[in-house]
């Protein structure tokens, strides 16, 4: 039997398998979509033989892909976007008791002092967005950006809060947004992973690889951590001594041998394996090409501030654009070092914080400019933010004055921004109280943000579900009801 | 009419998401029969047995008004006429109820009659065949020796068969006896335990790190080796269960039994700065509950944490009654994983170390007991504190004699208080919570780390008062109280606790002197959060009983024995492994129901217990040990079924119940309940919980022996092979992919005795945990070539090759790996340097085989797949080899990067290709 024919047979078989026996996994997903309380408004049918094949969303999408820039450690809203003159007035005063009652802090003890904004703010663009002087490049692109200043979460430690912001659950074991997105939509490019994760040097984020895990979804939807140094995908390169031609030759032999095994045994998985090996072969060239930024013209490097060969956030921003162009569904970037407690220079508002701003300012602004000029911003949603906010009080770790200026973790209020794919440009949504402590107006929970991201991708967050632990689980945690799409930011 | 078959599926499909255990819309729940027979909020009765016309349920499913019909049109389609007819018939016949099949104890199953009497080899085959005959299908022919041997070797040992086994099987005079002998050999090899431990460790969420942010190292590998030993010794599953869940509570436990209890210390510890130790202690306890239910009962009990179960009849309190079994242990999310046992390096000293550790605990209790009994009984008078000199914050006295600290109390702050002099023999420090409401407990810890008392005379001279003994109202946690400090509770204060400090000699105070008490609070939890003394009182007593107690010969003898026991223990070097350990009885926590699962909003107190649904009686059970015994008492409807199903799924690739993790209403129904119940009861009764015996029976069955070669029509009819008309064909597991490569290439370095985790080659830069200096230092020598089981497991950064082949992260209990087939897997086996190293060694073995190239290649095929290569296959491989050789001869520099010579390099590429064959990657 010819391999092509065999492949067609397999597709037939697995679909039949899928439709006749779908009691768990992908099949159950389909069933769940058909199921009782959700009604039958559109079914997500996945073919287990090619689980990452592009699939249409359930409602009209505004974005085809997401680039998520996570600032691990939680950047201070007080020093970037959430300008509060009231807080400046309170600088150095003892924190009033009303701000402390019923609060649990990671490090603050007893009665801390209030801390005014550490940098000067001004308004920018036609939209008049407030941005501090730490982000001069970003100040020029604010008219493309939609701020949410009323974010809040319920976790105040990094690991759990990052898990919450990426998986909807503070505990390990739930799938990440990128896994949900590739599960729902597949990938537009079968020769690249559909969900790619890039970390900028240094370290992995506090939440570890679970932040891009597949949780209870099939493992094929987990994010693939790529590297901007060396081989971009683990084991992508042929071993030394095996040229691309020789790999092709060995795959030709393997394909033929496997085709005869398929004919002899009749196991459809064998035919799937042949196609997976061919996909791996194509991935070797397409991923290598996608990750080679050295061919970008000089003006592009100027725009992002990139230096080929360096493992930096800027390089990852440029890679994000290249991957977006190539149809990668979800591109997750991690930058780190934003945990500005003030316990050391590297994590002080008056030192490390400025370094972090310098590392991201040109790069993220360049990304927005570049996406826009290529027409990609229209259907690419860019999301920027940390896992929680920071206190308007100065941290006093151990109840003592600290060597540097810093702020403690604050789940009550923080700022994120979005751009592109279906959100209002040059817009600011929601407010915190006069000292930037608690979100008070148009509050947006992490789950609301998730629902909105899924909405922009074309999914009702209550309908993109997967059965696990006896319930139809979803990104917007079923144990935290009341989640809503943030309609106010939709363009 | 059968409720489970005919009626419950209608409820589950159309009704229970609104009328279930969580949401009881209109006061109607279809999960409990008694609720269906009672008036709902509308005062109408959903079901009146025998009276369909009077039953509201029938009216509503038939209603023509879109506002009245059930389910409402926007929720789903109306019931079919067939479904309505079934409901009507069911109510008319009395609305008999059945519990869900899995909650009903399995009944003995007689093997059914079959027409093909010759086919069955085991009793189980008759169940399979009867089903096939009903479906008008014939079993597939028996697999040839090679196919069966490969399958059974991987299934039982996780490794390919030894070369000699195939020849033995072929040449055997009695093939039946030869197969049995092979199975017995496989069951007896140490590799057996390693293969089945790999399965169990997914359930145990075994990891060499603690999880979360820094994800630091944890020494718990002796537990991994315990699991291997238990499987190899064929420890009966009932004992296997009891020792892992409650080995520490067995009378006079051995070191092995305590080690087994590390099963539930594989929970995560959060060492991130500023985390609340109670939050993550509760998270660990919750994980223990959910894991126990998933692993042993395949029940999604986690649902019940927040509310009554949505589909299965478990009320909300059941969760917390069960939590009480696990709530009493000492562990409390400490960075050092306290408490631990000493696992002696010298096997001969392990039980002695355990005896000493437990004796030390007994002695501590014995030393404390006489005083503890008197702490609240003796008459005390308030010290009369009227002087306050705290180093930080402010101290405020209350009318009731307690003192409250206000303001910022940093680590190291010291409360100095003083009182007019009075004679005393003992002082009593009461460490008090800020709130008097037990629902607010526990609070942040409160610990005096240094306790100093002095007598200040009027002339300014100060005399320190030494203390000889301390008695604690209750002892708990990692900090042992002593006369100089560690008074209070750490890391959490679970309520008021008092300490009596006995002065070395009776204190007689001059009238104008003052008593000065200085209490430093130097301890903090992770992230430098001070465990300060926020409220306290101090009393004095001049009763000679205290001095007598403290200086009694009994006490001296106990103290001496304690010193000796500690000395003896310290002389035994070993690995410190976290294990389960109950708190002292006085310090047992009170378990309360969490409103909507939120630990910060506590309700009433509950006692340990099990769901009445499963126990019949009132569900009261004394402790964790009683709970573990109940799981395996032979009456539990789930335990044997769940394990038999798990073993079956490991062999056939899919369980009789496909959802290994969920036998409840939301899981899948068994494809053949009679077969499952037969296997379960056989495992539990005839085989007396012997895993090896059950596996032996299955792998020698006619069902398992069928060939996996299947005609298209059969695959189309039964793609998942639920009917078992052919043999199983499964992809190798993540562990098997690596182990086979090592075995085939001859690199495998067995380590049946186990040991610390090893670091086979992994790409640079994979490990990058934040705030962690942990490095992947690639093992050299034999440790580079250990079985996958021994590879270091890091939760936040799993071994890439294993994750790609569906290995779980071990964050939580995983009852089933869903097998995928992806291009990233191809990259691993083609390009991973470890697999290339394997291909090189494999090529050397092939090259060393006598004969021409074709016989060498044939030998390679045999090693990798146990098959005799067909001529066409050898043609293909030889052609590949020839082309590669030609390339390498033209470009020797290229060849050199792979092997010493162009000839070698061509063979390495060929070997690499062989290791990627579909037949090589499946079993």
Q: How far is CA B531 from CA A221, B270, B272, B274, B494, in A?
A: 44, 18, 17, 12, 13
Give strand pairing partners of B520. B414, B450
Provide the token pair at A280.
């791996």
Interatomic CA distance for residues B285 and B281, integer angstroms: 6
**Contact call for residues A463 and A174 (beta carbons, < 8 A):** no
**Contact call for residues B383 and B427 (beta carbons, < 8 A):** yes
Please, which residues have CB within 8 angstroms of residue B188's CB and are 6 or more apart in sequence? none
**Contact call for residues B916 and B830 (beta carbons, < 8 A):** yes
DSSP at A1: -
Relative to beta strand B591-594, strand B381-382 is unpaired
In angstroms and rounded to an integer, the radius of gyration of the C-alpha atoms of chain A is: 24
**Contact call for residues A399 and B411 (beta carbons, < 8 A):** yes
Residue range B592-605: mean pLDDT, rounded? 91
Residues of chain A contacting residue B909, judged by C-beta atoms under 8 Å apart: 242, 246, 250
**Contact call for residues B301 and B666 (beta carbons, < 8 A):** no
Distance of CA B490 to the CA centre of its chain: 26
Q: Is residue A372 over pLDDT 90?
A: yes
Q: With a CB-CB cutoff of 8 Å, which residues 292-311 of chain A face chain B?
A: none
Q: Is residue A202 over pLDDT 60?
A: no
- Tokens 């996780």 found at: B158
Q: Is A475 on the interface with B (CB under 8 A)?
A: no
- For residue B564, what pLDDT band results from cuts at 50, 70 and 90? very high
Q: With a CB-CB cutoff of 8 Å, which residues 442-461 of chain A face chain B?
A: none
Q: Is residue B101 over pLDDT 70?
A: yes
- Tokens 């020789």 found at: A246
A273 vs B71, B768, B918: nearest CB? B918
Please, which residues have CB within 8 angstroms of residue B443's CB and are 6 or more apart in sequence? B433, B434, B435, B492, B493, B534
Mean pLDDT of chain B: 94
CB-CB under 8 Å, A243 with B894? yes
- For residue A49, what pLDDT band results from cuts at 50, 70 and 90? low
CB-CB under 8 Å, A23 with B668? yes
Closest residue in A to B312 (Cα–Cα): A470
Q: Distance (Å) from the C-alpha of residue A98 to the closest C-alpha of chain B?
A: 14
Residue range A244-262: mean pLDDT, rounded? 97
Distance of CA B660 to the CA centre of its chain: 15
Interatomic CA distance for residues A156 and A159, integer angstroms: 9
Q: Is residue A40 over pLDDT 70?
A: no
> What's the pLDDT score for residue A20?
36
Q: Which of B641, B679, B692, B866 is nearest to B156 (CA)?
A: B692
Residues of chain B contacting residue A242, judged by C-beta atoms under 8 Å apart: 898, 909, 912
The residue length of chain A stands at: 491
Q: How far is CA B433 from CA A141, B451, B492, B831, in A?
A: 54, 19, 10, 61
Q: What is the 3-state secondary structure (H, E, C) of B622-642?
A: CCHHHHHHHHCCCCCCCHHHH
Closest residue in B to A107 (Cα–Cα): B274
DSSP at B512: T
Q: Distance (Å) from the C-alpha of residue B434 to the closest C-alpha of chain A?
A: 13
Q: Is residue B831 over pLDDT 50?
A: yes
> What's the pLDDT score for residue A22?
33
**Contact call for residues B623 and B583 (beta carbons, < 8 A):** no
> What's the pLDDT score for residue A15?
34
Beta carbon pairs, A and B, within 8 Å: 313
Residue range A473-480: mean pLDDT, rounded? 88
Residues of chain B contacting residue A204, judged by C-beta atoms under 8 Å apart: 768-770, 796-797
Distance of CA A319 to the CA centre of its chain: 14
Q: Is residue A318 over pLDDT 90?
A: yes
Residue range B69-77: mean pLDDT, rounded? 85
Residues of chain A contacting residue B709, judged by C-beta atoms under 8 Å apart: 264-266
Q: How far is CA A311 from CA A72, A226, A229, A330, A337, in A?
A: 17, 11, 6, 20, 15
Q: Is residue B366 over pLDDT 70?
A: yes
Q: With a CB-CB cutoff of 8 Å, which residues 306-345 of chain A face chain B?
A: 336
Fold of B365-566: Jelly Rolls (2.60.120)
- Tokens 């941290």 found at: A395
Interatomic CA distance for residues B657 and B649, integer angstroms: 9
Please, which residues have CB within 8 angstroms of residue B162's CB and are 6 or more apart in sequence? none
CB-CB under 8 Å, A276 with B833? no
Give residue-wise pLDDT tens across range B332-358. 999 999 999 999 999 999 999 999 999
Q: Which of A64, A55, A68, A28 is nearest to A223 (CA)?
A: A68
> What's the pLDDT score for residue B885?
98
> What's the pLDDT score for residue A228?
67
Closest residue in A to B797 (Cα–Cα): A209
> What's the pLDDT score for residue A461?
93
Give the Cβ contact number of residue B16 at 10 Å.
23
Q: Is A175 on the interface with B (CB under 8 A)?
A: no
Q: Which of A402, A388, A362, A325 is nearest to A160 (CA)?
A: A388
Q: Which of B531, B510, B341, B325 is nearest to B446 (CA)?
A: B531
Q: Is residue A9 over pLDDT 90?
A: no
Give strand pairing partners of B496. none
Q: Which of A310, A37, A267 is nearest to B77 (CA)?
A: A37
CB-CB under 8 Å, A234 with B763? yes
Provide the token pair at A441.
């107006």
- For residue B724, what pLDDT band results from cuts at 50, 70 and 90? very high
**Contact call for residues B824 and B804 (beta carbons, < 8 A):** yes
A24 vs B273, B668, B766: nearest CB? B668
Interatomic CA distance for residues A382 and A390, integer angstroms: 23
SS3 A18: helix
Q: Is residue A485 over pLDDT 70?
A: yes
Give the Cβ contact number of residue B349 at 10 Å.
17
Give residue-wise pLDDT tens across range B294-307. 999 999 888 777 77
Please, which residues have CB within 8 angstroms of residue B167's CB and are 6 or more apart in sequence? none
Residues of chain A contacting residue B599, judged by C-beta atoms under 8 Å apart: none
Closest residue in A to B413 (Cα–Cα): A399
SS3 B654: coil
Percentage helix, strand, coil for chain A under 3-state DSSP, each rounded to 5: 40, 15, 45
B395, containing H or E segment: strand B394-397
Give residue-wise pLDDT tens across range B681-715. 999 999 999 999 999 999 999 999 999 999 989 99
> What's the pLDDT score for residue B769?
66
Give residue-wise pLDDT tens across range B372-408. 999 988 789 999 999 999 999 999 999 888 999 998 8
A471 vs B303, B410, B870: nearest CB? B303
Residue range B273-286: mean pLDDT, rounded? 93
CB-CB under 8 Å, B17 with A471? no
Q: Distance (Å) from the C-alpha of residue B835 to the closest C-alpha of chain A?
A: 10
Q: With a CB-CB cutoff of 8 Å, which residues 135-154 of chain A face chain B?
A: none
> What's the pLDDT score for residue A283?
93
Whole-prediction pTM = 0.89
Distance of CA B349 to the CA centre of its chain: 28
Cis peptide leading into B442, omega within 30 of 0? yes
Burial class (CB in 10 A: 0-12, 13-18, 19+), A299: exposed
Question: Which of A39-48, B130-139, B712-721 bottoms out in mean pLDDT, i.e. has the lowest?
Answer: A39-48
**Contact call for residues A109 and A95 (beta carbons, < 8 A):** no
DSSP at B590: P
B8, containing H or E segment: helix B8-14
ipTM for the assembly: 0.90
Mean pLDDT of chain A: 87
**Contact call for residues A477 and A77 (beta carbons, < 8 A):** no
Question: Which of B52-56, B752-756, B912-916 bottoms out in mean pLDDT, i.e. has the lowest?
Answer: B52-56
**Contact call for residues B284 and B331 (beta carbons, < 8 A):** yes
SS3 A52: coil
> What's the pLDDT score for residue A29?
39
A237 vs B797, B809, B831: nearest CB? B831
Find the farthest-apart pair of alpha carbons in chain A and give their distance in angstroms, rounded: 82
- For residue A25, what pLDDT band results from cuts at 50, 70 and 90? very low
- For residue B74, what pLDDT band results from cuts at 50, 70 and 90? confident
The residue length of chain B stands at: 923
Cis peptide leading into B339, omega within 30 of 0? yes
Give the Cβ contact number of residue B727 at 10 Å.
23
Cis peptide leading into B553, omega within 30 of 0? no
Relative to beta strand B340-344, strand B574-578 is antiparallel
B823 vs A279, A397, A479: nearest CB? A279
Interatomic CA distance for residues B471 and B427, integer angstroms: 11
Interatomic CA distance for residues B807 and A143, integer angstroms: 46
Relative to beta strand A427-429, strand A145-152 is parallel
Residues of chain A contacting residue B720, judged by C-beta atoms under 8 Å apart: 17, 21
- For residue B629, what pLDDT band results from cuts at 50, 70 and 90? very high
Structural domains in chain A? 61-232+304-489 (3.40.720)
CB-CB under 8 Å, B272 with A159? yes
Interatomic CA distance for residues A252 and B910, integer angstroms: 12
Relative to beta strand A145-152, strand A195-199 is unpaired
Interatomic CA distance for residues A255 and A263, integer angstroms: 12
> What's the pLDDT score for residue A1?
34
CB-CB under 8 Å, B770 with A203? yes
Question: Which of A18-27, A76-85, B799-808, B824-833 bottoms out in mean pLDDT, i.e. has the lowest?
Answer: A18-27
Burial class (CB in 10 A: 0-12, 13-18, 19+), A245: exposed
> What's the pLDDT score for residue A5?
38
SS3 B454: strand
**Contact call for residues B207 and B794 (beta carbons, < 8 A):** yes
Q: Distance (Å) from the C-alpha of residue B478 to the closest C-alpha of chain A?
A: 21
SS3 B823: helix
């Amino acid at each position: 039997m010819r391999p092509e024919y065999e492949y067609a047979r397999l597709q037939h078989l697995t679909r039949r398998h899928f439709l006749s026996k779908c009691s768990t996994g992908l099949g159950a997903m389909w069933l769940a979509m058909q199921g009782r309380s959700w009604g039958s408004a559109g079914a997500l049918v996945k073919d287990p033989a090619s689980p990452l094949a592009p699939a249409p969303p359930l409602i009209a999408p505004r974005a085809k892909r997401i680039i998520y820039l996570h600032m691990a450690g939680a950047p201070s809203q007080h020093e970037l976007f959430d300008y509060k003159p009231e807080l400046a007035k309170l600088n150095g005063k003892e924190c009033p008791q009303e701000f402390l009652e019923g609060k649990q802090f990671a490090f603050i003890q007893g009665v801390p002092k209030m801390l005014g904004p550490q940098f000067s703010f001004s308004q920018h663009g036609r939209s008049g967005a407030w941005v501090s002087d730490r982000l001069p490049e970003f100040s020029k692109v604010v008219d493309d950006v939609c701020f949410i200043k009323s974010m809040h979460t319920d976790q105040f430690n990094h690991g759990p809060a990052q898990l919450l912001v990426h998986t909807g659950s503070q505990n390990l074991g739930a799938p990440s947004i990128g896994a949900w997105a590739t599960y729902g939509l597949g990938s537009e490019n079968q020769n690249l992973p559909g969900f790619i994760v890039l970390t900028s040097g240094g370290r992995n984020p506090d939440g570890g690889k679970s932040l891009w895990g597949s949780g209870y979804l099939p493992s094929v939807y987990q994010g693939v951590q790529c590297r901007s140094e060396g081989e971009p995908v683990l084991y992508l390169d042929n071993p030394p001594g095996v040229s691309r031609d020789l790999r092709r030759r060995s795959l030709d032999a393997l394909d033929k041998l496997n085709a005869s095994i398929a004919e002899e045994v009749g196991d459809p998985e064998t035919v799937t394996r042949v196609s997976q090996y061919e996909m791996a072969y194509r991935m070797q060239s397409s991923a290598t090409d996608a990750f080679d930024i050295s061919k970008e013209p000089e003006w592009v490097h100027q725009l992002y501030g990139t230096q080929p060969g360096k493992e930096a956030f800027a390089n990852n921003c440029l890679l994000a654009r290249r991957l977006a162009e190539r149809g990668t569904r979800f591109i997750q970037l991690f930058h780190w070092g934003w945990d500005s407690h003030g316990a050391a220079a590297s994590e002080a508002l008056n030192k490390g914080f400025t370094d972090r701003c310098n590392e991201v300012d040109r790069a993220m602004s360049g990304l927005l400019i570049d996406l826009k000029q290529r027409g990609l911003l229209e259907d690419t949603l860019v999301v920027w933010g940390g896992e929680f906010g920071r206190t308007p009080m100065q941290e006093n770790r151990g109840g003592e004055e600290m060597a540097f200026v810093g702020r403690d973790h604050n789940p009550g209020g923080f700022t994120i921004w979005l751009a592109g794919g279906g959100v209002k440009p040059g817009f600011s949504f929601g407010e915190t109280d006069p000292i930037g402590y608690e979100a008070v107006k148009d509050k947006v929970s992490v789950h609301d943000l998730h629902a909105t991201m899924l909405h922009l991708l074309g999914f009702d967050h209550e309908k993109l579900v997967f059965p696990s632990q006896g319930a139809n689980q979803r990104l917007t945690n079923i144990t935290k009801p009341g989640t809503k799409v943030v309609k106010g930011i939709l363009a | 009419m059968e409720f489970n078959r005919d009626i419950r599926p209608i409820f589950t499909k159309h009704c229970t998401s609104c009328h279930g255990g969580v949401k009881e819309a209109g006061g109607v729940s279809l999960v409990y029969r008694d609720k269906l027979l009672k008036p709902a909020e509308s005062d109408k009765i959903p079901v009146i047995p025998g009276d369909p016309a009077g039953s509201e349920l029938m009216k509503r499913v038939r209603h023509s008004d879109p506002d009245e019909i059930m389910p409402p049109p926007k929720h789903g389609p109306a019931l079919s006429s067939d479904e309505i007819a079934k409901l009507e018939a069911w109510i008319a016949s009395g609305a008999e109820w059945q519990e869900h099949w899995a909650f009903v104890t399995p009944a003995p199953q007689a093997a059914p009659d079959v027409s093909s009497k010759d086919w069955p080899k085991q009793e189980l085959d008759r169940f399979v065949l009867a089903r096939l005959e009903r479906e008008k299908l014939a079993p597939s022919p028996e697999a040839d020796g090679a196919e069966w041997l490969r399958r059974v070797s991987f299934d039982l040992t996780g490794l390919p068969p030894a070369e000699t086994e195939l020849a033995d099987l072929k040449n055997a005079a009695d093939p039946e006896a030869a197969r049995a002998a092979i199975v017995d050999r496989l069951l007896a090899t140490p590799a057996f335990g390693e293969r089945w431990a790999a399965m169990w460790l997914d359930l145990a969420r075994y990891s060499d790190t603690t999880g979360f942010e820094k994800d630091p190292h944890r020494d718990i590998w002796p537990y991994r080796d315990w699991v291997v030993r238990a499987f190899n010794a064929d420890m009966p599953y009932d004992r296997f269960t009891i020792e892992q869940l409650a080995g520490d509570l067995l009378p006079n436990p051995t070191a092995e039994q305590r080690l087994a209890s590390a099963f539930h210390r594989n929970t995560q510890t959060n060492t991130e700065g500023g985390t609340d130790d109670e939050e993550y202690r509760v998270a660990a306890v919750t994980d223990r509950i959910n894991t126990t239910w998933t692993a042993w009962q395949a029940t999604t009990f986690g649902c019940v944490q927040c509310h009554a179960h949505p589909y299965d009849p478990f009320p909300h309190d059941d969760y917390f009654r069960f939590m009480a079994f696990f709530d009493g242990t000492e562990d409390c999310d400490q960075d050092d994983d306290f408490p631990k046992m000493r696992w002696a390096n010298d096997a001969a000293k392990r039980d002695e170390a355990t005896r000493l550790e437990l004796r030390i605990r007994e002695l501590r209790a014995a030393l404390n007991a006489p005083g503890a009994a008197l702490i609240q009984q003796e008459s005390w008078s308030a010290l009369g504190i009227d002087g306050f000199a705290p180093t930080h914050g402010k101290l405020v006295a209350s009318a009731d004699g307690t003192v409250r600290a206000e303001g910022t109390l940093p680590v190291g702050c010291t409360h100095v208080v003083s009182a007019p002099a009075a004679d005393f023999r003992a002082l009593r420090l009461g460490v008090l919570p800020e709130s008097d409401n037990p629902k607010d407990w526990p609070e942040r810890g409160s610990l005096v780390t240094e306790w100093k008392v002095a007598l200040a005379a009027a002339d300014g001279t100060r005399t320190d008062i030494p203390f000889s003994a301390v008695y604690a109202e209750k002892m708990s946690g990692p900090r042992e109280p002593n006369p100089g400090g560690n008074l209070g509770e750490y890391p959490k204060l679970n309520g008021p606790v008092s300490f009596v400090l006995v002065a070395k000699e009776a204190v007689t105070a001059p009238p104008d002197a003052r008593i000065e008490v200085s209490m430093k609070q130097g301890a903090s939890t992770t992230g430098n959060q001070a465990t300060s003394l926020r409220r306290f009182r101090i009393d004095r007593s001049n009763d000679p009983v205290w001095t007598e107690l403290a200086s009694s010969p009994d006490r001296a003898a106990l103290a001496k024995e304690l010193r000796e026991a500690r000395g003896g223990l310290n002389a035994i070097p070993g690995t410190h492994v976290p294990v389960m350990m109950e708190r002292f009885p006085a310090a047992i926590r009170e378990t309360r129901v969490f409103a909507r699962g939120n630990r910060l909003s506590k309700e009433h107190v509950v006692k340990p217990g099990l769901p009445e649904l499963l126990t019949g009686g009132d569900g009261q059970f004394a402790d964790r040990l009683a709970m573990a015994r109940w799981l395996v008492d032979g009456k539990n409807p789930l335990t044997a079924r769940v394990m038999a199903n798990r073993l079956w799924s490991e062999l056939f690739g899919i369980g009789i119940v496909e959802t290994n993790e969920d036998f409840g209403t939301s899981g899948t129904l068994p494809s053949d309940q009679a077969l499952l119940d037969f296997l379960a009861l056989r495992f539990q009764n005839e085989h007396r919980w012997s895993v090896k015996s059950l596996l032996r029976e299955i792998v020698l069955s006619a069902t398992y022996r069928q060939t996996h070669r299947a005609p298209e029509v059969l695959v189309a009819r039964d793609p998942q092979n639920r009917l078992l008309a052919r043999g199983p064909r499964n992809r190798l597991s993540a562990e098997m992919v690596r182990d086979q490569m090592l075995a085939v290439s001859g690199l495998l370095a067995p380590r049946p005795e186990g040991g610390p985790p090893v670091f086979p080659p992994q790409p640079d830069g994979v490990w990058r945990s934040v705030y962690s200096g942990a490095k992947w230092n690639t093992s050299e020598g034999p440790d580079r070539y250990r079985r996958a089981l021994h590879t270091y497991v890091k939760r936040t950064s799993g071994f890439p090759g294993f994750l790609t082949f569906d290995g779980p992260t071990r964050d939580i209990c995983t009852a089933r790996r869903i097998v995928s087939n992806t291009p990233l897997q191809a990259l691993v086996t083609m390009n991973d340097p470890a697999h290339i190293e394997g291909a090189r060694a494999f090529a050397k073995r092939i090259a060393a085989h006598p004969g021409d190239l074709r016989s060498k290649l044939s030998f390679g095929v045999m090693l990798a797949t146990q098959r005799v290569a067909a001529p066409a296959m050898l043609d293909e491989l030889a052609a590949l080899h020839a082309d590669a050789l030609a390339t390498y001869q033209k470009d020797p520099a290229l060849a050199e990067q792979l092997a010493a010579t162009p000839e070698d390099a061509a063979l390495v590429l060929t070997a690499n290709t062989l290791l990627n064959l579909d037949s090589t990657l499946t079993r």
